[in-house]
Amino acid sequence: MPRRIYEGYAYSDAARAECIWPLPDQTWPELTDAETTEVAIVGGGFTGLSAALHLAQSGAEVTLLEAHVPGWGASGRNGGFCCIGGDKIGLGAIRQRFGVAAAQAYFNAQRGAIDLVDDLLSTHGIDAETHSSGELQLAHRPDILPTLRAERDLWAEYGVDATLIPQQDLADQGASGTFHGGLHVPLGFALNPGRYLTGLATAAANVGALIRANSLVQSITRSGSTYKLKTPRGQLTARKLILATNGYGADGLPDWLTGRYLPLQSNILITRPLTEDEIFAQGWTTDLMAYDSRHLLHYFRLLPDRRFLFGARGNVRASAQGQAAMRARMRRDLAAMFPAWVNVETPFFWSGLVSLSRDLLPYAGPIGDWEDAWVGMNYHGNGVAMGTWVGARLADLAMGRDPLLPIHARPLPRFPLPSIRRSYLYPAILAYRLKDGPVT
């Protein structure tokens, strides 16, 4: 039987009840009968919708099954950072492990992922409230500055003109706070993920992809050259299969997936709209995507409507009590990092599941030894661009094309003792908090 590793709260509407991002307002039909298709896709987030769109554009018959509605999961409740990312080890470590050529190909993929999102927004006329010329990494301690200098030099090797900003110049950049310097990397942009997902789903449906909502896949079985996907009220038979559930997957669905991903809760706090006086009092006037240098990082940006988005990770308990405790922690962190906003109301808070791999790299490739079956997952909290790009590459695979997958298609290792892998998070988070030091 399929098994999820968190309590039911993590997979309930309660976890996203206060999310400000819009879900598609279309009424998507449920799978209520026995249907057939060429390609079945499980999951209606960035990866699944991108795969559906690209497949349908290529003339394939495709049906997407979503347990709720498109964008309900992590894709529709993230911070909206369309940026470089997908791994948690960095280009330097990737180059050491896989070589110069593979690292360059991976960087090209990351840059291409950003360009793909930009192209989709333009091609399909999606107004996703885009802003921000790249992202700003901020040093939370003085001893982080040498690391930022090294990162600047590494970016230069890949043709990226990253700018190191001394502490005394942060205020001039509209980035005042309790930081000790920053690195501006001019790659990527911010967007409203709900609007982007709505546009993707609409575009995919317009070119012929069938989207079935409220159709939780309960089992996947291989029968000869076909796959049978059972839902509460229907069954879908397909010749090819794409799995795009990421952190919302389930062990045993299929067996190969068990232990090859580790969901982690990411949380977002939103202020009420700030007045111009409040914005200038704090000195945070930039619209750049930003994050600090902690292992358990905070990520934040000033939204176009002048609300402030403040995100963080580090909550292992998936319950109303756990969510309330994380909300209180983040409220304290926001006040410590941006003291002028200590009394600003924060009426919205929600959580979602990102997904990690054991080797801290994204994956796009076969589902074990199953023929004509692929999965894309483990974006380590950076799935806006990478998930979109992986979806397009999975579509290539399903169409018989041979896409460049620089590191994504390596063998995907399992976590040891996979049934208890969530428990690894407790000591890891404690250790990271000790390394990061107090939030000031």
- Rounded to a whole number of angstroms, the distance between the first and last alpha carbons of the chain is 46
Predicted confidence (pLDDT) at residue 80 exceeds the cutoff of 90: yes
pTM of the entire predicted model: 0.97
**Domains in the chain, number:** 1
CB count, 10 Å around CB of 187? 21
Q: What is the overall mean pLDDT for the chain?
A: 96
Residue 402 lies in a domain: yes
**pLDDT band at residue 25 under the 50/70/90 scheme:** confident
Q: Can you give the three-state secondary structure of the chain, one letter per residue?
A: CCECCCCHHHHCHHHHCCCCCCCCCCCCCCCCCEEEEEEEEECCCHHHHHHHHHHHHCCCCEEEECCCCCCCCHHHHCCCEECCCCCCCHHHHHHHHHCHHHHHHHHHHHHHHHHHHHHHHHHCCCCCCCECCCEEEECCCHHHHHHHHHHHHHHHHCCCCCEEEEHHHCHHHCECCCCCEEEEECCCEECCHHHHHHHHHHHHHHCCCEEECCCCCCEEEEECCEEEEEECCEEEEEEEEEECCHHHCCECCCHHHCCCCEEEEEEEEECCCCCHHHHHHHCECCCCEEEECCCCCEEEEECCCCCEEEEEEEECCCCHHHHHHHHHHHHHHHHHHCHHHCCCCCCEEEEEEEEECCCCCCEEEECCCCCCEEEEECCCCCHHHHHHHHHHHHHHHHCCCCCCCCCCCCCCCCCCCHHHHHHHHHHHHHHHHHHHCCCC
- Bridge partners of residue 185, in order along the sequence: 135
Question: Is the pLDDT at 251 greater than 80, yes or no?
Answer: yes
Return d(Cα 295, Cα 76) in angstroms, integer: 24
Residue at 404 is within a domain: yes
Burial 297-327 (b: 16+ CB within 10 A, else e): bbbbbbbeeebbbbbbbbbbbbbeebbeebb
Q: How far apart are CA 4 and CA 421, in angstroms?
A: 12
pLDDT of residue 315: 87
What is the per-residue pLDDT across 166-213, written as a single tens digit (0 to 9) for each?
Answer: 999 999 999 998 999 999 999 999 999 999 999 999 999 999 999 999
Q: Is residue 213 part of a domain?
A: yes
- Distance from chain centroid for Cα 70: 15
Q: Is residue 426 one of the residues assigned to a domain?
A: no
User: Within a domain: residue 149?
Assistant: no
Task: Kindly tell me if the per-residue pLDDT of 26 is higher than 90.
Answer: no
pLDDT of 36: 98
Question: pLDDT tens digits, residue range 276-298?
Answer: 999 999 999 999 999 999 999 99
Domain range for residue 379? 8-79+194-259+358-417
Question: Cβ distance 10 to 32 under 8 Å?
Answer: no
Phi and psi based region of residue 243 (left: phi greater than 0; alpha: psi -120 to 50; beta: remaining):
beta
Q: Is residue 160 domain-resident? A: no
Rounded to 10 degrees, the C-alpha dihedral 153/312/285/139 comes to -30
> Closest Cα to residue 134, out of 182, 86, 74?
182
The CATH number of residue 37's host domain is: 3.50.50.60
At 204 the pLDDT is 98
**pLDDT at position 278:** 98
Is 14 buried (19+), middle (13-18) or exposed (0-12) by CB count in 10 A? Answer: middle
Both tokens of residue 232? 């509460």
Q: Is residue 241 part of a domain?
A: yes
In degrees and rounded to multiples of 5, residue 128 shows phi and psi of -105, 20
Domain annotation covers residue 304:
no
Residue 94 Cα distances to 98, 123, 367, 381, 420, angstroms: 6, 33, 23, 18, 28
User: What mean pLDDT comes out for the span 145-156?
Assistant: 97
Predicted local distance difference test score (pLDDT) of residue 286: 97
Would the pLDDT of 314 be above 90? no
Identity at 366, one-letter amino acid code: P
Rounded (5°) CA angle 34-39-45:
100
Round to whole Å and give the CA distance between 350 and 362: 25
**Rounded-to-integer distance, Cα 206 and Cα 224, Å:** 32
